Amino acid sequence: MMLDRFYPIFDHSDWLRSMLPLGVKLVQMRVKDQPEDVVRAQILVSRDLCRSHGAVLVVNDYWQLAIELGCDWIHLGQEDLEGADLNVIRKAGLKLGVSTHDDDELERVLAMDPDYVALGPVYPTILKKMKWHQQGLPRVTEWKQRVGRIPLVGIGGLSVERAPGVLEAGADIVSAVTDITLNDDPEARVCQWIEVTR
């Protein structure tokens, strides 16, 4: 299955209510620092919204809940991998995306046969304090050569203006968070994203 080239990440299902009708077809729900019942409720609502709009939902981190609630995709960061049971995840038929930042992480992740690999931050990002400085476009090209047929997601400091360059450098998919969520008109911004990625 081909994933859409535009991959926004949101922290609340309310975002999906306004963004899915605009044509978003691939979205990650990343709920952090909330009690499990809140996370479960968020995933449940997001799952149903995505199904009704024909969109792919990727659940960040909470793989047990994703299995329990019958979701199709999860995304694991490097720190999430420690506690994740990949055998259980695969047995449940979940598709897996994983974050990578350096050579060791990429090697480790490729051995898991992931369904996509994310590389970040391509540009400096305000979202997370990271020990990695920006990876830059040449790294995107190098990563794509190394992952081959596996879809490569470029993430970190991305904007509508930067997206075409990241795709040209070799990314199959571009991901955005704050370029949308901190925008004065997030809906209009998403429409711009859809325009430049399709």
Tell me if 81 is assigned to some domain: yes
Angle, alpha carbons 110-153-67 (nearest 5°) = 70
Tell me if 1 is assigned to some domain: no
Which residue segment(s) compose the domain that 79 sits in?
6-197
Each residue's pLDDT tens digit, 25-66: 999 999 999 999 999 999 999 999 999 999 999 999 999 999
Cis ω before 8 (30° cut-off from 0): no
Please report, for the domain that includes residue 15, its CATH number.
3.20.20.70
pTM for this model (two decimals): 0.96
Determine phi and psi for 173, rounding to 5 degrees: -140, 145
Q: Give the closest residue to 141 by CA, choosing from 119, 112, 125.
A: 119
Residues of the chain falling short of pLDDT 70 = 1, 127-132
